[in-house]
């Protein structure tokens, strides 16, 4: 039985290749940020619609629904903040190349 040699590692990427890959990733992050912002806007609309439709209702399920939407909005904001940090860190790295 013949043993094949281990696959060769590809050479280290050039600085230009690294920068290009990071640029692609930053664009993808930007696309994700746009989607997160759009989702946040839709959640805000849903909260307003729900609040208007159920105004005056003191039922605990209505309050729970509103609380869940508020939490979802906050988590989207946290997500967006995390992506901003990721972009900043990637840009700092590119600056060192």
Every domain of the chain and the residues it spans: 23-54+61-96
Res 29 pLDDT > 60:
yes
Q: Which residues contact 50 (CB under 8 A, 6 or more apart)?
A: 62, 65, 66, 69
Q: What is the DSSP letter of 57?
A: -
At 60 the pLDDT is 82
- Separation between Cα atoms, residue 63 and residue 81, nearest integer Å: 27
What pLDDT, in 10s, does the model give residues 48-92? 998 888 777 777 888 888 899 999 999 999 999 999 999 999 999
List phi, psi (to 5°) of 40. -60, -40
What pLDDT, in 10s, does the model give residues 4-24? 665 666 667 788 999 999 999
At 57 the pLDDT is 73
């Amino acid at each position: 039985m013949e043993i094949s040699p281990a696959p060769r590692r590809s050479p280290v990427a050039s600085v230009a290749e690294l920068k290009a890959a990071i640029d692609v990733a930053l664009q993808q992050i930007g696309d994700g940020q746009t989607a997160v912002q759009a989702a946040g806007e839709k959640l805000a609309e849903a909260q307003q619609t729900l609040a208007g439709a159920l105004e005056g209702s003191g039922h605990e399920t209505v309050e729970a629904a509103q609380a869940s939407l508020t939490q979802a909005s906050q988590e989207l904001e946290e997500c967006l903040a995390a992506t901003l940090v990721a972009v900043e860190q990637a840009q700092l790295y590119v600056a060192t190349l």
